[in-house]
């Protein structure tokens, strides 16, 4: 399988190249040249497979040419062996229609572990084949940072620089990043910056020739294709348990950067019968406006109880627009240049119609999040986190037909956001024992001005040159 850029002019790469590259050199994102498609019989034959084996089946067409099937299975077995639940991503039934897909049983209690534990192993595998060093630069609104740091801490030939907006991530999230003291881990707290500012700095570094000539800059954000690929697997896992491919399933996805829900779109292209993908946002609702009205215009970020969704520019939306616009890289490059210049764009008719065939959307405000957390506790005895609550709010208001299961992706463990959960339910969720003494451990991070020059200088001083 080879990978092409959504903006049409970067060279095609194989899976290994796309994994190590992150952003394409023309500013676009890598996508597979075509979607592999499984037959109904093939999908049906996977029912009951352990998660790691299912993962190897689903991902095999994407890694062809870079990993053998045997090696792929070894890596998925190792990555998913670190999860605290044997089912890796267990389903929990809430009522006759609503389900939760618990994606938070990995080491850092958020769904990002599912992809990043695997990505960390891919980096090690591919870097071991050459004498290259990789410099990972990432921006986090909270959960990516800790999951990425856990996945690469102490690994050879990789340095990680993780940017977070100072004071805008929860204490648990910050401590999960800053208490990892491995020498290849560098946490940067950006002063007076939002997540979007941090993400813009990272994007700029990928396009800064002065930096990319010296360092091989890699991505752990969901601009990295390998992450989305690993997330496709749990749509199949949940679908199979609920009767797919013989039965359709709907998914509701708490969304920020459009990565997780784009993985659902990919699952649908590969043959999983998905009734609907519900894009759930908080009040930072650029995606809801884009899908409901065709208006993709950047507002200002409002901090909420679901900080990992406090995003006004959703990088992976570009991948959807590319696919829905007939995969015309030149046209999309123009459309995105317009967006970058004016911070606003209108979807084309083809993009709007294509999106409405599979996606719907909803936005949850603070009261709706809190009342959904309360509903899950009072009616089902489940404590859910504020991100999951946005998803469940959207799932319950989507009007999906009776008889079609609706699966909300539970993206974070409630103990990552104990204040919001306690406010809504009176119950304080406790951190699982495997996370243990987080609040006793020493923290280490650098506070730095939230501007490109300061960040680039810090990275240049601390990173290893590419060879």
Ligand X SMILES: *Cc1c(COP(=O)(O)O)cnc(C)c1O
Under the criterion CB under 6 A, does residue 412 sit at the interface with ligand X? yes
CB of 207 to ligand X, least distance (A): 21
Give, as ranges, the residues between 89 and 118 that touch ligand X (CB under 6 A).
110, 112
In the annotation, is 112 catalytic?
Answer: yes
Q: How many residues bind ligand X (CB under 6 A)?
A: 16
411 sits near ligand X (criterion: CB under 6 A): yes
Identify which of residues 112 and 248 has a Cβ nearer to ligand X in the complex: 112
- Separation of alpha carbons 122 and 385, rounded Å: 30
Is the CB of 16 or the CB of 143 nearer to ligand X? 143
Minimum separation from the CB atom of position 210 to ligand X (A): 29
* Closer to ligand X by Cβ: residue 16 or 260: 260
- For residues 186 and 434, the answer to whether their CB atoms sit within 8 Å is no
Rounded to 5 degrees, what angle do the CA atoms 232, 158, 18 make?
40
Q: Which of residues 9-28 bind ligand X (CB under 6 A)?
A: none
Using the rule CB under 6 A, which residue among 102, 113, 143, 382 binds ligand X? 143
Cβ distance to ligand X smaller for residue 90 or 256: 256
Q: How far is the CB of 135 from ligand X (least distance, A)?
A: 22
Which residues on neighbouring strands pair with residue 361, listed in sequence order? Answer: 279
From the CB of 377, what's the least distance to ligand X, in Å? 18
Q: Which is nearer to ligand X, 57 or 413 (CB)?
A: 413
Residue for token digits 């810090």? 458
Q: How far is the CB of 254 from ligand X (least distance, A)?
A: 4
Nearest residue (CB) to ligand X, 13 versus 114: 114
Q: Is the dihedral of CA 271, 275, 280, 285 positive or negative?
A: positive
Q: What are phi and psi of 398, to 5 degrees?
A: -80, -15
149 vs 124: CA distance, rounded Å: 14
Contacts 24+ apart (CB under 8 A), 73-81: 75/118, 75/121, 75/122, 75/125, 76/51, 76/52, 76/118, 77/52, 78/121, 79/52, 79/117, 79/118, 79/120, 79/121, 80/51, 80/52, 80/55, 80/117, 80/118, 81/52
372 near ligand X (CB under 6 A): no
- Indicate the residue among 38 and 265 with the shorter CB distance to ligand X: 265
Residue 87: Cβ within 10 Å count: 14
Q: For the chain, percent helix, then strand, then coil, each to nearest 5? A: 45, 15, 40
Provide, rounded to whole angstroms, the least separation between the CB of residue 131 and ligand X.
33
For ligand X, the binding residues in 375-394 under the rule CB under 6 A are: 387
251-310 residues near ligand X, rule: CB under 6 A:
254-260, 308-309
> What are the phi and psi torsion angles at 298 (to 5°)?
-75, 125
Touching ligand X, residues 198-237 (CB under 6 A): 222
Shortest distance, position 319 Cβ to ligand X, whole Å: 12
Tokens standing for 391?
């998803």
Among 279, 228, 35, 253, which Cα is nearest to 118's? 228
Segment near ligand X (CB under 6 A), from 14-22, 68-76, 250-258, 350-358? 250-258
Q: Which residue has the tokens 């995606």?
A: 287
**Which residue among the candidates 112, 157, 248, 416 is catalytic per the annotation?**
112
The residues carrying an active-site annotation are 112
Residues that bind ligand X (CB under 6 A): 110, 112, 143, 222, 254-260, 308-309, 387, 411-412
């Amino acid at each position: 399988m080879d990978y092409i850029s959504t903006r049409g002019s970067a060279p095609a790469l194989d899976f290994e190249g796309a994994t190590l590259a992150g952003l394409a050199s023309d500013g676009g994102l890598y996508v597979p040249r075509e979607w592999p498609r499984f037959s109904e019989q093939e999908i049906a034959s996977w029912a009951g497979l352990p998660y790691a084996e299912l993962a190897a089946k689903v991902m095999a067409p994407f890694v062809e040419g870079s990993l053998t099937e045997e090696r792929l299975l070894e890596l998925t077995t190792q990555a998913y062996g670190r999860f605290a639940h044997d089912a890796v991503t267990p389903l929990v039934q809430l009522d006759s229609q609503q389900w939760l897909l618990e994606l938070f049983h990995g080491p850092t209690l958020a769904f990002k572990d599912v992809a990043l534990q695997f990505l960390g192993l891919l980096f090690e595998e591919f870097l071991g084949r050459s004498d290259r060093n990789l410099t990972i630069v990432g921006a986090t609104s909270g959960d990516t940072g800790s999951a990425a740091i856990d996945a690469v801490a102490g690994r050879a030939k990789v340095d990680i620089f993780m940017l977070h907006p100072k004071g805008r991530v929860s204490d648990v999230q910050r401590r999960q990043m800053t208490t990892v003291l491995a020498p290849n881990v560098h946490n940067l707290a950006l002063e007076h910056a939002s997540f979007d500012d941090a993400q813009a700095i990272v994007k700029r570094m990928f396009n800064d020739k002065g930096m990319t000539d010296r360092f091989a800059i890699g991505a752990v954000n969901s601009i990295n294709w390998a992450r989305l690929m690993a997330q496709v697997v749990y749509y199949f896992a949940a679908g199979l348990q609920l009767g797919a491919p013989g039965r359709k399933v709907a998914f509701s996805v708490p969304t920020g950067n459009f990565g997780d829900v784009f993985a659902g779109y990919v699952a649908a292209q590969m043959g999983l019968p998905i009734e609907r993908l519900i894009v759930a946002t908080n009040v930072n609702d650029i995606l809801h406006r884009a899908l409901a009205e065709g208006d993709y215009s950047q507002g200002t970020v409002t901090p909420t109880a679901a900080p990992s969704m406090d995003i006004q520019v959703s990088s992976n939306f570009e991948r959807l627009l590319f696919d829905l616009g007939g995969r015309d890289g030149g046209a999309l490059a123009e459309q995105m240049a317009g967006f970058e210049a004016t911070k606003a764009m209108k979807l084309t008719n083809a993009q709007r119609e294509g999106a409405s065939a599979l996606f719907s959307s909803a936005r949850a405000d603070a009261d709706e999040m809190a009342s959904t957390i309360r509903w899950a506790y009072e009616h089902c005895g489940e404590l859910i986190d504020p991100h999951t609550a946005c998803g469940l709010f959207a799932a319950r208001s989507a009007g999906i037909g009776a008889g079609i299961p609706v699966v909300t992706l539970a993206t974070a463990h409630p103990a990552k956001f104990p204040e919001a959960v306690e406010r809504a339910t009176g119950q304080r969720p406790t951190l699982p024992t495997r996370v243990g003494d987080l609040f006793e451990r020493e923290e280490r991070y650098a506070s730095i001005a939230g501007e490109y020059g300061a960040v680039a200088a810090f990275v240049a001083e601390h990173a290893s040159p590419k060879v």
